Structure 1
Amino acid sequence: MYTRKDAGVNEVQGDRPRRTLLQEVRRRLRLKHYSRRTEQAYVGWIRRFIRAHNRRHPRDMGAAEVERFLTALAVEGNVSAGTQNQALSALLFLYRDVLDIQLPWMDNVVRAKRPKRLPVVLARAEIRALLAALDGRSWLVASLLYGTGMRLMECLRLRIKDVDFARTDIIVRAGKGNKDRHTVLPRSLVDPLGREIERARILHEKDLADGFGSVWLPHALARKYPAAERELGWAYVFAAAKRLRDPHSGVVRRHHYSDAAFSRALKSARKRAGIVKPVSAHVLRHSFATHLLEAGYDIRTIQELLGHKDVATTQIYTHVLNRGGRGVRSPLDRD
């Protein structure tokens, strides 16, 4: 059972503390293997929904309140379509999976319009300048993102066992949609990545000697294979410099290199390289796909490397081909 309060205060029934609503939301999300970032986002939206209605319990509200909340996000908050959809998903999860209440289809919600945007893509010269402005592991991470098309967290969560130097292949585990896929390991990164893995091996052996050495394993693998969490193969390639306490389990472990630290390094490198375009980890992924298309690779191959469910998602990169403005010769340039 759980309380009808927003969060933070436990009510006691007999000798057993009752879970708060948000604690129950977290428990259900973990039971269904949602990612930690999704958990944080969903809990944040549910908390915001409750507070927007003077801390009324969601069971005492329904479709009308949800519609009003989502409409206010679009009309007054001027949020993007993606942000509004995330809030909607969080509230649907709350009612469907936690409260066991089926909401009617919410036709009256004012939906934020999803604009059609072309991805930001760096030219090859800009890629070279950006990488030249980086060093150390931030350079290696950026090179992998551009050279493999991985998402940032897919790269940072890469395990040693999933790098195949002999076949120059990388297995991306539990990518978007919880799917595995293969991508290419650039031959130019074989030696640098080997040195990074050697660094991770040394840290792992030190952790074992100090009485630590376990890493987080997904789902129930830690119970199914009790010894796996201390094996080198499961260690992160980009091991963090320090051990930290897991906020969920309380176990002290060595996690992976911080995505925030990498983003800061990338931002500084963009300025040093004199690049005026916005640059993020995802821009490197966009550039990977675009440059492969320019090189003549098949769009289905690129779809598989990127892990897109639908080829229509990959087709956005066809803007780089000789179509539209880039395929037209201006009359000013005519002889």
Structure 2
Amino acid sequence: MRSYELCAVKLSDLDFERKTVFIPKKKGKIDRYVPLSPLLIRGLKKYITTENPQGHLFNSQVSKAGESRGLTTNGIRWIIKENRSKIGSSKQITAHTLRHTFATHLLEYGVDIVSLKELLGHAHIEMTLTYLHVANLPSGSKFSPLDKLYD
């Protein structure tokens, strides 16, 4: 998901039974559900039990009135920067880099481009097609359609 979508995730958007998180319409103007892996669900449940977030899944600051606020995109940038230094990487890593890497790996694991479009929340397939250029896809066996005509 996009970083601003992550910031907006509310506890009520999580559905551990269906293993999904609801992402309301934003940039692509399409509501969508993103799958949650069992491993991620386990981690989120532990986080929720330990941190007891209110409203948003990831809380950051508290308003002057004492209301909790959701994590901000600046907060995400700070978290990524802090953790990049811990792993000793000199590579430029952003939230969008992580999104792009996720999409590329899905293509490499065989997810079709239409499903990827829906997962990423793209309004137009052309945006999703850009991921094909960087994915390391197996070329498969080349054949002529005539070879398959009588199979």
Bin of the TM-score, shorter chain as denominator length = 0.7 to 0.9
Larger Rg belongs to: 1
Shift of the 274–287 alpha-carbon distance from structure 1 to 2, 3 Å rule, reads: same
1:258-273 paired onto structure 2 within 5 Å: 258-273=72-87
User: Cα gap change, 1:299/1:255 in structure 2, threshold over 3 Å: closer, same or farther?
Assistant: same
* Amino acid in structure 1 at the alignment position of 2:62: R
Aligned to 1:321: 136
RMSD across aligned C-alpha pairs, in angstroms? Answer: 2.1
State the distance in 2 between where 1:237 and 1:322 align. Answer: 35
User: Which sections of structure 2, spanning at least 5 residues, go unmatched?
Assistant: 139-151
Give 2:20's match in structure 1, choosing from 146, 169, 172: 169
Distance across 2 between alignment mates of 1:253 and 1:192: 25
- Give the Å deviation of 1:273: 2.1
Residue equivalent to 1:254: 68
| Distance in 1 between residues matched to 2:57 and 2:115, nearest whole Å | 26
Counterpart residue number, 2:8: 157
Q: TM-score, normalised by structure 2?
A: 0.79
Range that drifts further, 265-274 or 157-166 = 265-274
Tell me by how many angstroms 1:322 deviates: 4.3
Structure 1, unaligned runs of 5 or more: 1-149, 205-234, 246-250, 324-335
The answer on whether the counterparts of 1:182 and 1:305 sit within 8 Å (CA) in structure 2 is yes
After TM superposition, the structure 1 = structure 2 runs for residues 68-217 of structure 1, keeping only pairs within 5 Å, are 150-199=1-50, 202=52, 204=54
User: CA separation of 1:314/1:177 partners in 2, compared to 1, >3 Å: closer, same or farther?
Assistant: closer
Q: Is the 8 A contact 1:170 1:182 kept in 2?
A: yes
Larger fraction in helix? 1
Separation (CA, whole Å) in 1 of partners of 2:38 and 2:26: 23
- Show the counterpart of 1:237: 57
Q: TM-score, normalised by structure 1?
A: 0.38
Q: 1:283 and 2:97 equivalent?
A: yes
1:203–1:186 CA distance, 2 compared to 1 (3 A): closer
2:34 counterpart letter in structure 1:
T
Task: Judge conservation of contact 2:30–2:123 (CA < 8 Å) in 1.
Answer: no
Contact kept in structure 1, 2:4 and 2:72, CA below 8 Å: no
* Preserved contact between residue 7 and residue 73 of structure 2 (Cα < 8 Å): yes
Fraction of identical pairs, as percent: 31
Moved segments of 4+, more than 4 Å? none
State whether residues 196 and 237 of structure 1, in contact with CA within 8 Å, keep that contact through their aligned partners in structure 2.
no
Distance verdict in 2 for CA 1:166–1:260, change over 3 Å:
same
CA separation of 1:203/1:268 partners in 2, compared to 1, >3 Å: closer, same or farther?
A: closer
Distance 2:129 2:111 in 1: 13
**Matched residue pairs, number?**
137
